[in-house]
Amino acid sequence: MDKQDKQDKRDSQGSQHAQGPQHTQGSQDPRDARQEPRESDARPVLEGPDIARVLTRIAHEIVERAKGADDVVLLGIPTRGVFLGRRLAAKLEQITDRKIPVGSLDITMYRDDLRMHPPRALARTEIPGDGIDGKLVVLVDDVLFSGRTIRAALDALNDIGRPRAVQLAVLVDRGHRELPIRADYVGKNLPTSLRETVKVQLAEEDGRDTVLLGVKQTAPGAQH
């Protein structure tokens, strides 16, 4: 029971990653409705201005730790990590006055739960022109939860090149790690229970910036 519960939580997070914006038919797919968490009384824990401030702080932290961010490459994990990556890059460019390479890294094909669901739509992997060899890659994602997405991202990176180092920036860390993975830059630590859902909405995709904390309803149709 407990294991199943965890699995469902992970799905609700994963479904955010699974749909690239270009796959318009995804919204008509009844399977997506099944994976989408049902929320009641979701309350915002971060609003638009908070998110902007958080990203500014993370940008400064990256510059500080990388001593100028000379060789930083930002790779966002679709869908929302990509938008966060682009926003971070814009902030970094303001701070350093230099162009910061930014791209996206789709981890769908590297997931460890592929066989538990119908095949997911793929999103775009876009590696900046100079590649990642010898660079400091900062992975950017919206929510850090089980850590499995990041494990998959590390595997995917392995097939693309050999960075000097890999760091992780997330907007929200909600705990409940299932793998020995931690974030280097955290927007907000959000202690949650497994019965709660965390949903990040960004203007590029959802029309507004917010992080919603809700309670998951156990829907009879949600079991696989």
Partner 1 sequence: MQRHLISAADLSRDDAVHVLDTAEEMARVADRPIKKLPTLRGRTIVNLFFEDSTRTRISFEAAEKRLSADVINFSAKGSSVSKGESLKDTAQTLEAMGVDAVVIRHGASGAPYRLATSGWIDAAVINAGDGTHQHPTQALLDAFTMRRRLVGRDTGLGRDLSGKRITIVGDVLHSRVARSNVDLLHTLGAEVTLVAPPTLVPVGVETWPCEVSYDLDSTLPKSDAVMMLRVQRERMNAAFFPTEREYSRRYGLDGDRMARMPEHAIVMHPGPMVRGMEITAAVADSDRCTVVEQVANGVSIRMAVLYLLLGGNEPAVAHARTTEEK
Task: Please tell me whether residue 95 binds partner 1 under the rule CB under 8 A.
Answer: no
CB 144 within 8 A of CB 72: no
Q: How far apart are the C-alpha atoms of 89 and 59, rounded to whole Å? A: 8
Which span (1-9, 38-46, 117-125, 204-212) binds partner 1, by CB under 8 A? 117-125
Output 110 or 185, the one with its CB closest to partner 1.
110
- Please identify, using beta-carbon distances, which residue of 38 and 124 lies nearer to partner 1: 124
Distance CA 157, CA 223 (A): 32
**β-bridge mates for residue 72, sequence order:** 136
Residue range at the interface with partner 1 (CB under 8 A); choices 42-50, 63-71, 84-92, 103-111: 103-111
119 or 134: CB nearest partner 1: 119
Position among 55, 100, 123, 170 found at the interface with partner 1 (CB under 8 A):
123
* Residue among 116, 165, 179, 219 that touches partner 1 (CB under 8 A): 116
When asked if residue 65 is in the footprint of partner 1 (CB under 8 A), the reply is no
- Between 14 and 214, whose beta carbon lies closer to partner 1? 14
Q: Which is nearer to partner 1, 26 or 175 (CB)?
A: 26
Residues 6 or more apart in contact with residue 132 via CB below 8 angstroms? 73, 75, 157, 160, 161, 162, 163
Q: What single letter denotes the amino acid at residue 161?
A: G
Where does this chain touch partner 1 (CB under 8 A) — which range of 5-13, 44-52, 102-110, 190-198? 102-110
147: three-class secondary structure by DSSP: coil
How far apart (Å, rounded) are the C-alpha atoms in residues 20 and 25?
10
Coil, strand or helix: which one is 63?
A: helix
Dist CA 123 CA 197 (whole Å): 23
Binding site for partner 1 (CB under 8 A): 22-25, 28, 106, 109-110, 114-125, 155, 159-161, 224
